[in-house]
Structure 1
């Protein structure tokens, strides 16, 4: 952290000028990750400065972790930093100097003296303004790269108003929401509280974790409070963002008792969904879903917010209520080393052959068994990269 601290002020300023809102590369988020999760010498933070008339201006920040080669992945990989709670790994770049910043960043990353032989970014939205800029710059620099669809992510775009949002839901979901909401109101006094700082509760982080631990995550040992590193990380994140009113925690209370809460953070014009918690004692009312829909309502009532980033895969329950989906891409970038170039050619060939076999199996069920065997044979090197990034 001591090496990063001199850059924090410029980093905060860059976040307001960024090409794209990215809470997962905000200085508060990365600082919490470095304090609680990253072991020494496994993280790399790259700062790119523009110098005009001896005045320095930060134009790009990229965070990485280095994965050593192993039997699953024969090349050492520099991957966009993926923490247990971070879901967007691509760099933060100045919207006015994006091309120049990416050029400088790429030139440094691709120097042959570096120990890594492949660069991998996990989870770049294909609708992101960053994605085509990076591809264009790599093409201009004649750098070999491959992109591959990874998964779908729920997104929320602003409707004309909350009623327009409800109208876009399926009739079954609208009816279920209204029925559960009426049942909850009939059970007692209902209160919806928006926390954007710690004014109403200095223990907001612990209140959320206590509520989360009551549910199935607590039973499975995956709740934030179950591990000290997770709990400390969450407290750091809440406290640092509360100081600038960038919390968006929505708490649902029944007769003064908290029964559900969503934890979200603001970055620019974007709401980043983070966690949800509810008390299973009140599950008859679907309190988690009610809190989520109340979050959407407050999102539409808050001026300046344009979209919501789901921070989850398409299999999440959020998909039913955040209906705008975006395709997330994985981007593989070769370094100048021959092994890196050959490996990317190999991956490209494997993907093409697999696609051909998939097309054939759609036409003829007779080839089904052959396709399964082929898939299993070639899946090792393709899937191992994603596995080594996420473990």
Structure 2
């Protein structure tokens, strides 16, 4: 029997077929399967323009475990794109079933808190086609409402998703959401501080003089795993004395916060990933800030102080020392966290801006929910306000 030999063209065709067989778009609903992606996920993130703390595997996996894993109404729907078997795209999506307008609604969103954690599609820079594949697969998931929060203003995801939604004639909108002031170290501390307003510096001097009269105070930063494990119990006790704990939003709150911040500080195997700052008065902790460091950016995530010492402005004193310390790190960036709080504007005018995308499915149910959310409910609110104003005016 005559033996047939493959030509170069035949060989190339076989290779191309095998590569195409390894081109996949997959939806991961199993947490263990997501855990196995850790190394690949972070490697992809390093190669993408979306590279930030809130999209690291450590952040996403611990967030899910702390806030959603035990909820029956929540499920993972993480989308991955592979080309020739290599992970080139990922979307950290979750589905939550909630009640809105007395209707049961399934929402698709990024894993995280849409009010302050960055959400985005993660795509390798040399494979932009993966972005379209992620978006197309997202639209095929079973959801009533899609709420993609805190997408960076510069992200390509904004235009791609908006265009696809428009082409499908889906009821949708894009609107500004959070903003996040940041400070980039580009000079020495003396020059930078000299440029702050006279009023701000005077107020800060008064606060510093006041706390000095109250006793000896110290500021310490804790960053190694051993230090964090040792100091965390004290920080949790301090958090319970702060105003945020009164509204169940401190790192010691039992709504998932305690689990999340403990896990991130003691179980994440990354050097200098978490660092905690503490201001102590007479050796007693009275204020703290909980930070993350990633990709040469420090993220100021949360902070609080003992309300018993509110008159000493412990938050301002600690904030001053932290900002000053950043000028020992040439080229560093300090993200002051979401929200345009007045104290942040004393340090910087530069701000990262984010957008939300909301869409409703083309199903009849989705159309009804969309009509209520975008037309009927806003109209009812306007009517209620108008009637309330009429009653207040005595007419």
Q: Above 0.5 in TM-score?
A: yes
The 1-side partners of 2:164 and 2:243 are apart by: 50
The match for 1:285 is 312
Structure 1's 61 and 371: CA in aligned 2 closer, same or farther, altered over 3 A?
closer
Contact kept? 2:89, 2:131, Cα under 8 Å: no
Q: Does 1:49 align with 2:81?
A: yes
**Which of 137, 162, 175 pairs up with 1:148?**
175
The match for 1:268 is 295
The match for 1:7 is 37
Q: 1:340 offset after TM fit, Å?
A: 4.8
May I ask how many residue pairs the two structures share in their alignment?
A: 352
**Which of 181, 185, 198 pairs up with 1:158?**
185
The match for 2:4 is none
TM-score calculated relative to the size of structure 2: 0.74
SS at 2:32 equivalent: coil
The 2-side partners of 1:343 and 1:191 are apart by: 55
The 1-side partners of 2:178 and 2:139 are apart by: 28
**After alignment, is 68-77 or 265-274 more displaced?**
68-77
Q: Runs of 5+ in structure 2 lacking a partner?
A: 1-30, 388-395
The match for 1:332 is 358
Contact kept? 2:336, 2:344, Cα under 8 Å: no
Q: Does 1:108 align with 2:134?
A: no
Output one character per residue of 1:239-292: Cα deviation in whole Å (capped at 9) or x when no partner: 234742112322223343323221111221322221112233433331111111
Contact kept? 1:21, 1:270, Cα under 8 Å: no
The match for 1:362 is none
The match for 2:13 is none
Q: 1:108 offset after TM fit, Å?
A: 0.8
Q: Does 1:64 align with 2:94?
A: yes
SS at 1:266 equivalent: strand
Q: How does 1:1-391 map to 2 (within 5 A)?
A: 1-38=31-68, 39-40=71-72, 42-52=74-84, 55-68=85-98, 70-71=100-101, 76-83=106-113, 87-97=116-126, 99-111=128-140, 114-126=141-153, 129-130=154-155, 132-136=156-160, 138-139=162-163, 142-143=167-168, 144=170, 145-185=172-212, 187-227=214-254, 229-241=256-268, 243-311=270-338, 313-315=339-341, 318-335=344-361, 337=363, 340=366, 372-373=382-383
Structure with more relative contact order (C-alpha pairs < 8 Å, separation 6 or more): 1
TM-score calculated relative to the size of structure 1: 0.75
Structure 1's 41 and 71: CA in aligned 2 closer, same or farther, altered over 3 A?
closer
CA RMSD of aligned residues (A): 3.6
The match for 1:363 is none
